[in-house]
Amino acid sequence: MITNTINKTELQAQLLHKINNKTKPPGALGLLEEIALQVGLIQETTSPVISQPHIVVFAGDHGIAKTGLVNPYPQEVTAQMVLNFLNGGAAINVFCRQHNITLQVVDAGVNHELIPASTQLKVKGGEIFINAKMRYGTANYLEAPAMSEADAVASIEKGKAIVKTIADRGGNCIGFGEMGIGNTSAASLIMSAVTGTPVAACVGRGTGVNDEQLQTKIGTLEKVYALHQLHQLKDQPITLLSKVGGFEIAMMAGAYVQAAEQKMVIVVDGFIASAALLIAQQINPAVLTYCIFAHTSGEHGHEKMLQHLNAKALLHLGMRLGEGTGAALAIPLIQSAVNFLQEMASFESAGVSNKE
């Protein structure tokens, strides 16, 4: 353990020396310098590289969505949007194509048979559909737990397996997105339970609820919080997932844990992705070491969640789309940080005088 600590300290010193001796004033590249340092420490090298970056979008339905109490859009939109992903027409498709990021779309628990009798299918634009369906959506957590604890564990394991395959094929940078009508409600409940923040301070408009609908949403989720006594589940991630989670959130939590185990650079997207990270952090606290936070979502509560995680976001664009879109926009910045570390001349190599 002492040797590992010394090696890490030495590596950090070597990385800082390399960063500070590029042909620029110290700190002139701002956050890019912090990213270069972090990626070098993650990959345990002074010459880090970003290989085969991926975005994995997990999709699942929530039983609460059928009631109309927390969302203005019908549950069917989840399946319709997944098909839009597969046809290459969503924002995440556009950004992944633009930045040469591999996109994978996972059916974690959509209440629709998307591609019958298929487990994996290459589709337009090179994206890959993975059928990892647990069930046809979760139960309505106003009436019963969203899923069994066994299903929560199985979902986590499926998320791990998906990331393991990507890592085995050479991918070392990964971001996660989600699609699921009603999943901002599940994320709000998870945030409230883990951070101790009142439900009303966690709940946002999600997919465009108006003021009256927002108050109904808050009241509904406060009932759910009380029904399942979520205040007692702060340190019980599996039970918390079983009470109010979604299959896509559970798989994402497992994906985070596996990505950290593979020493991948993890790019954290918005509100729901950060809620899944709260679960992953409880399973393995070391996961945060590998995380770069893409953006501060426009979704109410996300900034508070980032503060809880002591996280500094790269972008502040007011986005709240989900799908992994913030992560897809941040990955080129991470690549730029690695590239300047690799390719930018040093004062010595360029024959430029350094400050005395």
Q: Give residue for tokens 């199985």.
A: 154
- Determine whether 303 is an active site residue: no
Whether residue 355 is contained in a domain is answered as no
Same-domain status, 217 and 256:
yes
pLDDT at residue 179, rounded to an integer:
98
- 27: domain CATH number is 1.10.1610.10
Query: Which residue numbers in the chain have pLDDT < 50?
Result: 1-3, 117
What integer pLDDT is reported at residue 339 of this predicted model? 97
Shared domain for 38 and 58, answered yes or no, is no
> Model's pTM, two decimal places?
0.94
Q: What is the pLDDT of residue 271?
A: 97
Same domain, 39 and 144: no
Classify the C-alpha dihedral 24-29-32-38 as positive or negative.
positive
Q: Do residues 202 and 219 share a domain? A: yes
Q: Is residue 344 part of a domain?
A: yes
Model pLDDT, residue 2: 41
Mapping DSSP to helix (H, G, I), strand (E, B) and coil, where does residue 337 land?
helix
Which domain does 178 fall in, by range?
A: 54-334
135 and 257 both lie in a single domain: yes
Residue-wise pLDDT tens digits, 27-75: 999 999 999 999 999 999 999 999 999 999 999 999 999 999 999 899 9
Tell me: do 98 and 148 sit in the same domain: yes
Residue 206: exposure state from Cβ atoms within 10 A (0-12, 13-18, ≥19) = buried
Among residues 113, 222, 323, 356, the one annotated as catalytic is 323
Q: With 0-12 CB in 10 A as exposed, 13-18 as middle and 19+ as buried, what is 201?
A: middle
Helix, strand, coil % in the chain, rounded to nearest 5: 55, 10, 35
* Residue-wise pLDDT tens digits, 168-200: 999 999 999 999 999 999 999 999 999 999 999
Same domain for 346 and 236, yes or no, is no
Q: How far apart are the first and last CA of the chain?
A: 38
**Domains identified in the chain, total number:** 2
CATH of residue 102: 3.40.50.10210
Task: Find how far residue 136's CA is from the centre of its chain.
Answer: 23
Q: Could you tell me if 155 and 197 lie in one domain? A: yes
Q: Are 37 and 170 in the same domain?
A: no
pLDDT of residue 1: 36
Q: Are residues 145 and 34 in the same domain?
A: no
| 11 and 96, same domain (yes or no) | no
Same domain flag for 153 and 261: yes
Residue 69 lies in a domain: yes
Q: What is the edge-to-edge ordering of all strands in the sheet holding 291-295?
A: 120-122, 128-131, 102-109, 54-60, 173-179, 265-268, 291-295, 313-315
| Spatial CA neighbour of 267 closest among 65, 122, 83, 56 | 56
